[in-house]
């Protein structure tokens, strides 16, 4: 048994997947829609590679060429992602449409995944058909890769540096393990490419941001941070999305003054995000006793100290300011009460950001307000015309905030400032202007002249009509509809295929998204059962398992993100937990002396029980250990079922790629629709329930076929 090549396959596959997903996050805003497409494309091409490899005749030369192609495809893909704005005709930091981003993901993953899929079959042939052992050692390699990435590489290296190190190591392993002493030219070529990747990391980033001057870059645990300078202005970007620009007093003033003019004598203020963008400077103009500024990424503070103007940097060290490095939501759970809570974060365009705009978070904020305290946040809007897509987005946030607070007021403008409390002063420009004068606060933009236009009764009436029109859906932790509305709003600017797709999906009833696919799946099972051939009852659960495991992974990862925050670093640990379980399950299936069809039935029944546990667990906001144990159990069942079903199938027909390919095709379907469509529209809980129903139908299907098999 050639264990080392199979271990290398799993190690390189998972590390490449994590690095490519992180790089896509850094250049495509970390949007879960893109993640879903990327993950689906990864499964699709790997599955196709496995199926097509059945026609490839095994030779040592093909073996080496397939490994070399996968290793060299990683730096090529990373370079293509970084230069994507030139290939897609975008400006620096400009978002692309879903269609070009999806095509980009589809093209790049094919370069890596087709050879990876072929290599599973080639490794099986190299080990004299011992598929279960290849699967086991591949899973062990993936586990090792995830742990190495989480504990060593991600905290210390950039994506390109980690890829160069891993690619160089994989090339040496290929030279020593797969073709000892041969193919030196391939080794030298690979090492030269990896060295060039390491050296050109920062210069290529500077090229991406031209004509702006990139002065510093760092991959933190929360995202890729890049500081730009344009004349006298500096701008910080995280994953290509703007964090702040300085000086930008207009943004800072509107984030702070509309809230503080409602509570000018507030003594304690909690600021989540925005402090380094000028919010602290504005808050310090009020007689506030204590300002708690929460910023999840400490690198943002370090960047800002080095590059901000002296006046802004001093605000971070003010005696009344306490800077706290923590997830804002997690900090608030254990915090004291505040007179004012201000959230100054980007729009809820991702599931990670959406958790600060849900009903659960609004209620949490309300619990930590003093009597009469005020809560405020702002989102992007439009000066005059509110499109249907924007209306749906704003109305959802307004209805959600109204459910948590007695009174809600919204300031019109290109940015809408939401204010919520038990009681609020009316948004009258004359009263607010008098308040500014009495407090003797110096402002440039929130001044009487601006307020008379922005708070005109006509503009407020038009906005109120848009916010209250229709039947908006509440944005909740387990029903994150606002991040789907953000995707609809994002796609509307391109007016292409993605705009029509998202608009159609937004109008669909839940039954079309869940009931119809479930009924179609049941009809497929009935049709397959009528045919009644033995391979059908062995291969069908593999496809169902592939879909189930990937959907459960996505559900668990998003539930973890809602509870604990950023995924940028933790992704590798969660993947490792799943792959460790997969290894243990594959080991159990390999060591089972006699495989019987009843084992598959038992494993399918255990899948149903595990899904029931997931249904109960996601509602309870469990700790990190729960997600690790769940993913390990999920991987264990998936690995055991894969090995058992394939052992029974291979007793009848020698086709090493079909079982692996069908498992990945099921994963492809699950990844494609889950994170990008079903979760934001229907929610985590209903999706888990329907997944439980689908697996229950599969269990009945297997019981039906027991006698025939």
Q: What is the DSSP string of 249-298?
A: HHHHHHHHHHHHTTSTT-SEEEEES-GGGTHHHHHTTS--SEEEEE-S-H
Question: Which of 248, 333, 319, 309 is closest to 282 using CA atoms?
Answer: 248
* Adjacency order of strands within the sheet including 290-294: 321-324, 290-294, 268-272, 338-343, 369-382, 413-421, 407-411
3-state secondary structure of 233: strand
Measured distance CA(354)–CA(484) in Å, rounded = 10
pLDDT digits (tens, 9 = 90+) for 225-258: 999 998 788 888 888 888 888 888 889 999 999 9
pLDDT at 654 over 80: no
CATH among 3.20.20.140, 1.20.1250.20, 1.10.1530.10, 3.30.1360.70 for 508-709:
1.20.1250.20
Question: Which of 567, 513, 552 is closest to 680 using CA atoms?
Answer: 513
User: Which distant-in-sequence residues (6+ apart) come within 8 Å of 202 by Cβ?
Assistant: 214, 217
User: Which distant-in-sequence residues (6+ apart) come within 8 Å of 203 by Cβ?
Assistant: none
CA angle 681, 683, 684 (to 5 degrees): 145
Cβ atoms within 10 A of the Cβ of 474, count? 17
Average pLDDT over residues 148-153: 88
Exposed, middle or buried, 121 (CB in 10 Å: 0-12/13-18/19+)?
A: buried
297 belongs to the catalytic site = no
Asked whether the beta carbons of 510 and 681 are under 8 A apart, the reply is yes
Q: How confident is the model at residue 1 (pLDDT cuts 50, 70, 90)?
A: very low
pLDDT digits (tens, 9 = 90+) for 595-653: 899 999 999 999 999 999 998 888 877 888 889 999 999 999 999 999 999 999 888 87
Residue with tokens 């995202």: 223
Question: In this predicted structure, what is the pLDDT of residue 281?
Answer: 92
| DSSP letter assigned to residue 97 | P
Asked whether the beta carbons of 599 and 647 are under 8 A apart, the reply is no
Question: In this predicted structure, what is the pLDDT of residue 345?
Answer: 92
Residue with tokens 């062995």: 538
Name the superfamily (CATH) of residues 248-477: Vaccinia Virus protein VP39 (3.40.50.150)
User: Which distant-in-sequence residues (6+ apart) come within 8 Å of 698 by Cβ?
Assistant: 525, 540, 541, 544, 604
pLDDT digits (tens, 9 = 90+) for 482-532: 877 887 777 776 666 666 776 777 677 777 888 998 999 999 999 988 877
Calculate the average pLDDT of the chain: 88
* Identified catalytic residue from 339, 344, 347, 663: 344
């Amino acid at each position: 048994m050639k264990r080392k090549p199979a271990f290398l396959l799993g190690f390189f596959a998972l590390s490449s997947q994590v690095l490519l997903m992180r790089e896509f996050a850094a250049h495509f805003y970390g949007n879960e829609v893109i993640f879903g497409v990327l993950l689906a494309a990864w499964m699709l091409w790997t599955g196709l590679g496995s199926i097509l490899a059945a026609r490839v005749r095994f030779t040592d030369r093909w073996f080496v060429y397939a490994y070399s192609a996968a290793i060299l495809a990683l730096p090529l893909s990373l370079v293509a992602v970084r230069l994507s704005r030139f290939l897609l005709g975008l400006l620096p930091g400009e978002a692309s449409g879903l269609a070009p981003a999806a095509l980009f993901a589809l093209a790049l993953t094919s370069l890596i995944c087709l050879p990876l899929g072929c290599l599973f079959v080639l490794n099986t042939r190299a080990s004299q058909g011992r598929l279960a052992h290849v699967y086991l050692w591949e899973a062990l390699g993936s586990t090792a890769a995830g742990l190495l990435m989480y504990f060593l590489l991600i905290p210390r290296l950039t994506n390109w540096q980690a890829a160069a190190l891993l690619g160089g190591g994989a090339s040496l392993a290929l030279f020593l393990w797969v073709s000892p002493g041969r193919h030196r030219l391939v080794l030298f070529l690979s090492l030269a490419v990896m060295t060039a990747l390491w050296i050109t990391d920062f210069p290529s980033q500077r090229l991406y941001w031209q004509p702006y001057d990139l002065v510093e870059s760092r991959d933190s645990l929360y995202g890729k941070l890049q500081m730009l300078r344009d004349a006298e202005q500096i701008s910080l970007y995280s994953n290509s999305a703007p964090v702040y620009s300085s000086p930008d007093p207009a943004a800072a003033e509107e984030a702070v003054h509309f809230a503080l003019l409602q509570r000018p004598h507030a003594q304690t203020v909690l600021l989540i995000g925005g402090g380094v963008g000028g919010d602290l400077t504005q808050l310090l103009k009020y007689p506030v006793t204590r300002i708690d500024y929460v910023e999840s990424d400490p690198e943002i503070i370090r960047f800002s100290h080095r590059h901000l103007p002296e006046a802004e940097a001093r605000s971070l060290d003010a005696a009344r300011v306490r800077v706290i490095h923590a997830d804002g939501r997690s900090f608030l759970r254990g915090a004291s009460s505040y007179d004012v809570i201000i959230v100054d974060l980007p729009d809820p365009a991702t599931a990670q950001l959406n958790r600060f705009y849900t009903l659960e978070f609004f209620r949490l904020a309300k619990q930590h307000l003093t009597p009469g305290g005020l809560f405020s946040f702002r989102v992007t809007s439009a000066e005059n015309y509110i499109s249907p897509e924007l209306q749906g987005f704003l109305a959802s946030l307004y209805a959600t905030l109204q459910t948590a607070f007695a009174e809600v007021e919204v300031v019109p403008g290109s940015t809408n400032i939401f204010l919520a409390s038990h009681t609020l002063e009316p948004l009258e420009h004359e009263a607010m202007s008098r308040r500014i004068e009495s407090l003797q606060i110096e402002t440039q933009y929130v001044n009487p002249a601006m307020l008379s236009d922005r708070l005109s009764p006509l503009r407020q009436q038009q906005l109120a009509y848009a916010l209250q029109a229709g039947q908006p859906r509440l944005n909740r932790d387990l029903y994150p509809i606002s991040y789907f509305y953000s995707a609809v709003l994002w796609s509307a600017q391109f007016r292409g295929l993605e705009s029509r797709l998202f608009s159609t999906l937004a109008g669909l009833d839940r039954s079309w998204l869940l009931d119809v696919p479930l009924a179609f799946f049941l009809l497929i099972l009935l049709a397959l059962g009528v045919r009644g051939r033995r391979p059908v009852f062995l291969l069908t659960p593999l496809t169902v398992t592939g879909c189930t495991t990937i959907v459960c992974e996505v559900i668990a990862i998003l539930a973890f993100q809602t509870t604990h925050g950023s995924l940028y670093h933790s992704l590798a640990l969660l993947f490792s937990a799943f792959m460790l379980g997969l290894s243990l399950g594959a080991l159990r299936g390999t060591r089972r002396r006699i495989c019987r069809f009843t084992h598959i039935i038992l494993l399918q029944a255990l899948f149903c029980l595990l899904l029931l546990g997931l249904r109960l667990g996601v509602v309870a906001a469990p700790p990190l250990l729960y997600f690790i144990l769940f993913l390990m159990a999920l991987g264990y069942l998936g690995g055991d079922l894969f090995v058992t079903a394939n052992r029974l199938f291979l007793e009848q027909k020698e086709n090493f790629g079909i079982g692996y390919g069908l498992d990945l095709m099921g994963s492809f379907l699950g990844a494609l629709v889950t994170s990008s469509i079903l979760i934001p529209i229907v929610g985590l809980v209903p999706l888990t329930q329907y997944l439980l129903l689908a697996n229950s139908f599969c269990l009945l299907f297997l019981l039906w076929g027991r006698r025939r098999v």
